[in-house]
Amino acid sequence: MKQSYLLKFCTIAFMFMLPLGMMAQTIKGKVTDSSGAGLPYMNVIEKGTSNGSTTDDNGEFSINVKSLPTTLVVSSMGFATKSIKVIQPSYLTIVVNEDNALDEIIVTGSRTAPRSNVDSPLPIDVVGIKELMSTGQTTFDKALQFRIPSFNTVQTPVNDATSLLDPYEIRNMGPSRTLVLINGKRKNVSALLYTQDSPGRGETGTDISAIPVDAIKSIQVLRDGASAQYGSDAIAGVINIILKDDVNRGSATLRSGVTSEGDGEMFGISINNGSSIGDDKGFINYTVDFSKVGLANRPGTVSAKGEAFSGTGFDAPLADVQEFLSRRPDAGNINGSPETVATKFLINGAYDLSEESTLYFNAAYVFKKVNSYANYRTPYWKIATGDSAYLQDLFPSDERGGFDGYVPTFEGVLNDYNATLGIKRKVNDWNVDSSITFGGNEQTYKVNNSHNSSEGYQALSPTSFDPGGTSFKHLVGNLDVSRLLSDKVSIGMGAEFRNENFEIIAGKASSYEGGGSDSFSGNDPVNSGIFNRYNLGGYFSLDYDVSDAFLLSGTVRGENYSDFGNTFVYKFSSRYKLSDNYTMRGSVSSGFRAPSLHQIYTEKSQYSFADGGGIDVVGLVNNVSPKARELGIPKLTPEKSTNITFGFGGKVTNNINFTVDYYKIDVEDRVIYTNQIGKNQFFINGFDTTTSGIDFVSSFSNIQLGEGKLDLNLSGNYTIANKRTEDVPTIAVTEDDGSVNTYPVLDRSNLALMFTSRPKTKWILGANYEINKWGLALNNTYFGKTTFRQKFMNDGLRTEFTPKIVTDLAINFQASDKLSIALNVNNLLNVLPEWAFKADTAAGQAIIDDTSVISIANGGSGLTQLENESNAITFNGRYSQMTYDGSHFSQLGTMFNLSLNYQF
């Protein structure tokens, strides 16, 4: 049966690639503004098809069409879309007027003909490279954080492998439910499974920070479910990265930066270049990017009484603790932003094989190395040291009789790669796109300055360990066919075959035997291996323009998974133009997400910091193991979702536009990573959830101000609800002593991570002013309230991060026709995260109000109840600024970035 499915797929793909077309005709011309100046990078598309071209530096273009007459659609961000009917070959001069970004051509979210943003029935954000660069952020994910209100990412202070890839999400739905495309083709996910206590816990996502910003032409963010169009993982939305296709031009960019504290030094160099090939029949555009970021350390001042107190610390003699902290007030901790080195390469290209067919390709490779630190093992840290004399031989010191503690280091190496090869053909009146995509992500780790305290090692233990790692690969074949049946009806259909491969790479024996290497234990070969699955899917789409104002669109999709069986999903959307300037739109869809191979097969023991509770050794039991059956854990099933959106948008004037969209996402059988139940953790289909909110986007462009022009934009996201819709399941466990205890699958801490750890609301207000050779951008990002309920904190308390406004300033100077200089000051006003205790109950309020000190003589800490609670969630002050869960903007303060760009 498997071979039959594959044979049918390959046969269909081969048939559609046969050369059945007719000879095309070439249309040439020039696109200008009202003054007659040529406009570069304008999109010129044959209406109703994906056949298109882009104007060169002089505004000139050439496009092959199958037959005449036909209609060309000219568009670009900032200009009104214009349609030109062409009856016979001639040199065209097309004049377009300045307008706004609503008319950008959209290729995301539709499997039929591309539409402008005004005509699309779906909420889509379009962000150009200029807007991304103006953020001054050094990576793509951080740039999106300060451009798209519904997009959130966070850098956690110390979380081992999580330092390689910061978790991100759209609409509070987790990284697993956002699909990432490159030029419309699926990008591979990361090999990393987030298992630490941070947002995104229990999930995996694509490493979008691996994409060099200089290689991006624009991005299109679909804020709507798209499982029917693209398959699994698109419950929350889609990020489509459109690569640069410039020819005969290039640029070199030199970047440097430093924080206001003088650390976190950044240096980078990037080269982007493009050229035509084969007598202008094709192009190649490539980007090479190198960057190095130094360590930025933001430790807190550690409480001696908290360290000595058995309730929040190590039950150590206070005098010993005070002596150590007198020399190391931060207890030797190093937390903040790790040292990172990254090298990135990306190539994009296309070549006209004939009048009717175009070969296209892109490929990327990323190498990233991150060095971070575990918590410092102080000499009084009995849990880690075991008070063993051999440690002074492994970690000698001139202090305290030869031993003063040690700090394990974590070194992660990431290799990420992807490549796509495809052919677009015009077969009679059909647009046929067939492609194959290969991608992968591998992460391997090394732990240094550590030891294995188990018997058989101890004094003989090495201090460097190879704990193994993880790897993910996929192979995707796509066949997409579309046709404009008439001026009113267009259809699309296609098929996808995907093979996925996940590997748990075994570590060396010393890293996993006994308790394994301190701070990060290795993968036992028993828990390692290679795991595989495949799926085959197909879809059918229909767009019907009932009238010039009324559009109906629908897509249905079926998929078969080798491990989960069949699924069927749909999407219906509509748009109605109330007038030339105002539009209503809406959609309803079903979706699905197959549990990742990471969630099904990962099994290991992991050292994990527990707020105020030292180090936990937790066993993650995989979903298909006999142990899972023994514990009564059912096999995972796919998540199912229902998405509803409706919105309203309009052009108040040619310069003022807005959209407002309501969304509601219901997820059934959401896959969760449980807290510790007895001695184990695992993945289960936990409960149903609902998420709803409102997105608002507006702009006021081309405002004449003196001799320059001013653009204003305001966008925001408000979360109405993000919660579970049924009780948290419980599991009964028989303990070692024969007693039976019942545990909830998620405690209050992990429920808060899932539902309230992202801003309740987020708004971005930006102003861009250009005058002569100068450009000025001022962006203000408002991060709303976030709420946590950390482990070991009193059930009557919660913590709330105070809403903050982060201001970014960008100044650009065009020194010459080729050289520009940019200064970016991120977090201009040095705004830092702040949090406070809030009461959920009367008992919690009593703790906040109680100023009495708990006497040390009576077995207390010598601190107030509230100070004890603070120590419990900040590890006695080590993470006083962020707590251990993290915040939503940098804890590093002000960052200065300077860049030089030279065009050639």
A 10 A CB-CB count for 534 gives: 18
Distances (CA, A) of 365 to 118, 286, 342, 440: 36, 12, 11, 10
Residue 381 pLDDT:
82
- Tokens for 36? 């007659």
Please, are residues 559 and 566 in contact by the beta-carbon 8 Å criterion? yes
Angle CA 470–164–209, to nearest 5: 110
CATH class of 2-99: mainly beta
pLDDT of residue 52: 80
Which residue type occupies 200?
G
- So what's the pLDDT on residue 429? 87
820 CB-side CA count, 13 A? 19
How many Cβ atoms are within 10 Å of 276's Cβ, its own excluded?
13
| CATH superfamily assigned to domain 124-299+334-373+408-833+881-903 | TonB-dependent receptor, beta-barrel domain (2.40.170.20)
Are 677 and 733 in contact by the 8 Å Cβ rule? The answer is yes
How far apart are alpha carbons 318 and 790 in whole angstroms? 26
Distance between CA atoms of residues 154 and 613, nearest Å = 24
- Give Cα 559 to chain centroid, integer Å: 25
Q: Tell me if the bond preceding 467 is cis, omega within 30° of 0.
A: no
Residue 624 contacts by C-beta under 8 Å, 6 or more apart in sequence?
Answer: 600, 601, 635
Identify each DSSP E strand in 326-452 by its residue range. Answer: 336-337, 339-352, 357-373, 409-427, 430-448
Q: Does residue 608 contact residue 197 with C-beta atoms inside 8 Å?
A: yes
Q: Is 37 exposed, middle or buried (0-12, 13-18, 19+ CB in 10 A)?
A: exposed
Could you give the residue ranges of the DSSP H alpha helices within 744-810? 748-755
Half-sphere exposure of 138 (CA within 13 A, CB side): 28
Cite the DSSP H helix spans in 419-557: 509-512
Pairing of strands 489-505, 465-484: antiparallel
| Of the candidates 642, 683, 615, the residue with the CA atom closest to the CA atom of residue 203 | 683
Return the DSSP state at 459.
G
Dihedral (Cα; 667, 669, 673, 675), 10-degree rounding: 110
Sheet holding 786-788, edge to edge: 786-788, 797-801, 835-839
Helix then strand then coil, in percent of the chain rounded to 5, is 15, 50, 40
| Domain pair 2-99 / 124-299+334-373+408-833+881-903, same fold | no
DSSP codes of every residue in 32-91:
E-TTS-B-TT-EEEETTSS-EEE--TTSEEEEEESSSSEEEEEEETTEEEEEEEE-S---
CA atoms of 823 and 899, how far apart (whole Å)? 7
* Mean pLDDT, the chain cut into blocks of 10 residues (904 residues total): 44 40 70 80 80 81 85 79 84 79 52 54 83 81 90 74 81 92 95 86 89 91 89 90 89 96 96 91 95 93 92 86 95 90 96 93 96 91 66 88 90 96 93 97 96 90 96 98 91 96 97 91 92 96 93 95 94 93 94 95 66 55 85 91 94 91 96 89 94 95 91 95 93 81 90 91 95 94 92 90 94 94 95 93 96 83 92 90 70 93 93
**Residue 876 and residue 868: Cα distance in Å, rounded?**
8
Which residues sit opposite 336 in a β-bridge?
297
Answer yes or no: are the C-beta atoms of 583 and 349 closer than 8 Å. Answer: no
At residue 10's C-alpha, the angle toward residues 8 and 16, to 5°, is 100
Helix then strand count (H, E) for the chain reads 14, 48
Nearest-angstrom CA–CA distance, 121 and 871: 51
* Dist CA 538 CA 83 (whole Å): 33
What H or E segment, with its residue span, contains residue 15? helix 2-16
Domain boundaries, the chain: 2-99, 124-299+334-373+408-833+881-903
Whole-angstrom Cα distance, residue 868 to residue 874? 10
Tell me which residue of 159, 149, 153 sits closest to 139, measured CA to CA. 153
Distance from chain centroid for Cα 509: 34
Q: Are 356 and 425 in contact (CB under 8 A)?
A: yes
903 φ, ψ (degrees, to nearest 5):
-100, 140
CA distances from 195 to 150, 215, 448, 896 (A): 24, 32, 21, 33
Q: Taking the CA of residue 306 as centre, how many other CA atoms within 13 Å lie in the half-sphere pointing to its CB?
A: 27
